[in-house]
Amino acid sequence: MEVHFDGKRALVTGAGKGIGRDTAKALVKCGAEVFALSRTQEDLDSLVQEYPGIQPVQCDLGDPEATKAAVESVGPIDLLVNNAGIIILQPFLDVTLDAFDKVMNTNVRAVLQVSQIVAKGMVERGTGGSIVNLSSLVSKSVLKEHTSYCASKGALDVMSKVMALELGPHKIRVNTVNPTVVLTDMTRKIGYGDPAKAGPILARIPLGKLVEVDDVVNAILYLLSDKAAMVNGTHLPIEGGFLTS
């Protein structure tokens, strides 16, 4: 199955590393004009070196004013991938309000703000569009020490359904992808590169392996494309059968 986004303008948040970076590159290969947003200028610089056609946008999504200015600066967008996210691990009894707020601000509030700006433009132009929000399987199957992260992804799933309900009449589709642990720099930093930590999750995946970045990118491309023209308000699990156990 080939997808083409010729003539489409795409914005990917959290595009400096991992899933967001590979999504931005894949969208370029599919013909889209891509705007890559990241808080880390070095990551954007290296991305543009790889793909000179990508338009870099440096912004910390934790700053609402900077976010508004950055997203409005890119102009009309047809395809939006809200990928940016953070995780802070703490046992429930030790969760701090500061950590909880940081996770919710990036993983939920920023998605709300970015999506509002982009979707308003889609509505005004009457051209429709597609939005994919990067959620997680932890919205359905929780993990210890992931209170803030699980809460943020549960909120994101429900918000995405409301977005799909309200934006659907404007021909704007909204879906989420919900992978289990994906081997990225972020997950390796919190220990999932260690077989001892990954083992219990692997034991519940019938396919016997963790999710790769490409598995998620391919799902995102599908949901963004016309191949998914009647897919709206869906949470797509990417988990190798984890939920069957």
Instruction: Point out the residues that are catalytic.
Output: 149
Q: What is the edge-to-edge ordering of all strands in the sheet holding 129-134? A: 55-58, 33-38, 9-13, 79-82, 129-134, 172-179, 235-238
Q: Which of 138, 112, 162 is nearest to 238 (CA)?
A: 138
**Contacts of 163 by beta carbon, 8 Å cutoff, 6+ apart:** 115, 119, 131, 174
Name the residue type at position 9.
Answer: R
CA–CA distance, 215 with 218 (Å, rounded to integer): 5
CA–CA distance, 89 with 234 (Å, rounded to integer): 27
CA–CA distance, 157 with 234 (Å, rounded to integer): 9
Name the residue type at position 180.
Answer: T
- Identify whether the C-beta of residue 172 lies closer than 8 Å to the C-beta of residue 122: yes
- Identify whether the C-beta of residue 23 lies closer than 8 Å to the C-beta of residue 93: no
